Amino acid sequence: MITAELTFDDLAGLMKKAAGVTVDPQRLKQSPDFPFDSVGLDSLGLLGIVGELENRYGQSLPQDSERCKTPREFLDLVNSTLKAGA
């Protein structure tokens, strides 16, 4: 089975779709430690992204995933969960 992995490109697309926040995927890659707050993505917005991912992968993400503060923290959490679940 191929392990799914969430990329910075995916995350940028989801931020736009679920929360209306436009970020350059390159910026996410280059500086993944900026706070989501600074681009106007709040916990409800991240919760929407969590919901999209859970539906996409048919797998639950850990409770409080939407409390991640930065793109790197969120990506690490999602990818480690997907890897463990695979």
Partner 1 sequence: MSSERARGAAITGIGVIAPNGLHADAYWKSVREGLGALDRITREGCEDMPLRVGGEVRGFDPAGLIEERFLVQTDRFTHFGMAAAALALDEAGLGRGDPAEPYSIGVVTAAGSGGGEFGQRELQKLWGQGSKFVGPYQSIAWFYAASTGQISIWSGFKGPCGVVASDEAGGLDAIAHAARTVRRGTGAMVVGSAEAPLAPYSMVCQLGYPELSTAEDPDRAYLPFTERARGFAPAEGGAMLVVEDETRARERGTDIRAVVAGHSATFTGASRWEESREGLARAIKGALDEAGCAPEEIDVVFADAMGVPEADRAEALAIADALGAHGSRVPVTAPKTGTGRAYCAAPVLDVVSAVFAMENGLVPPTPNVFDICHDLDLVMSRARPAELRTALVLSRGLMGSNAALVVRRGGDSAR
Nearest residue (CB) to partner 1, 59 versus 79: 59
Give me the helices (H) in 20-70, please: 25-30, 43-57
By CB under 8 A, residue 82 contacts partner 1? no
Position 44 contacts partner 1 (CB under 8 A): yes
Cβ of residue 65: shortest distance to partner 1, in angstroms? 12
Q: What angle do CA 52, 9, 64 make, to 5 degrees?
A: 40
- Cα–Cα distance for residue pair 9/21, rounded to 1 Å: 13
Q: Which of 34, 47, 72, 82 binds partner 1 (CB under 8 A)?
A: 47
